[in-house]
Amino acid sequence: MVMFLFLVVALAVVVAAVTLAVVGGGEDAGPLPEAAPERLHDPLPPDRPLDRSDVDLLRFPLSVRGYRMADVDDALNRLAAELAERDARIADLESALAGAQTPAAAPHVSMEKQTPEDQQ
């Protein structure tokens, strides 16, 4: 008997909710407006090089099938270009450093302990 009363009350709540939704919508409501596609709110800054915090704060908006491919592709292309630029700069600096380090240019430092007589 308790189960029957529970089902009757649940059915009454559902009917009331549907009735309020239909009546509350009114005749002038019309169709829902077309939603604008969600875009990347905080894109990567174009005026300076990226740093770790830019990548950490990057959040892509969701679309029907996951993330918007155009936003992800743009971000990955930007990151790839900056990484390639940094790799080239590191290679240039390493080659310049290797060229500057010649045996004649480096002073000879002895690891032997000097006596007070040697220091004079």
Q: How far is CA 100 from CA 86, 106, 110, in A?
A: 21, 9, 21
Can you tell me the mean pLDDT for 108-118? 57
Confidence of residue 22 (pLDDT cuts 50, 70, 90): confident
- How far is it, in rounded angstroms, from Cα 35 to Cα 115? 84
Length of the chain measured in residues: 120
**Per-residue pLDDT, 40:** 67
- How far is it, in rounded angstroms, from Cα 31 to Cα 62? 24
Q: pLDDT: is 48 or 120 the higher one? A: 48
Task: State the pTM of this model.
Answer: 0.45
Give the model confidence (pLDDT) of 45-65 as tens digits.
888 888 888 888 888 777 777
